[in-house]
């Protein structure tokens, strides 16, 4: 009941537009390059994550 008036407000609508832009980027990162780990081990997975972030950043440029 308390949430409904907040969601009708201008602040929520403005932030909702920003969120939709960010959610697409997060979804692409989550499902494309790091969907499946290629190796095991913490260091290898950290490296794979860093490379995925780097690749997506280059793609967006």
Give the pLDDT of residue 10.
92
Q: Residues 2-59: pLDDT tens digits?
A: 899 999 999 998 888 888 888 877 777 777 655 666 677 888 888 888 888 888 888 8
- Residue 27 Cα to chain centre, angstroms: 5
Which residue is it, tokens 């995925």?
52
- Residue 61 Cα to chain centre, angstroms: 17
| Closest of 57, 49, 10 to residue 33, by C-alpha | 49
Give the pLDDT of residue 11.
92
């Amino acid at each position: 009941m308390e949430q409904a008036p907040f969601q009708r407000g201008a602040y929520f609508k403005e932030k909702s537009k920003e969120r939709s832009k960010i959610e697409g980027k997060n979804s692409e990162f989550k499902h494309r390059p790091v969907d499946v780990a290629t190796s095991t081990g913490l260091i290898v997975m950290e490296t794979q994550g860093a490379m995925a972030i780097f690749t997506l950043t280059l793609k967006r440029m």
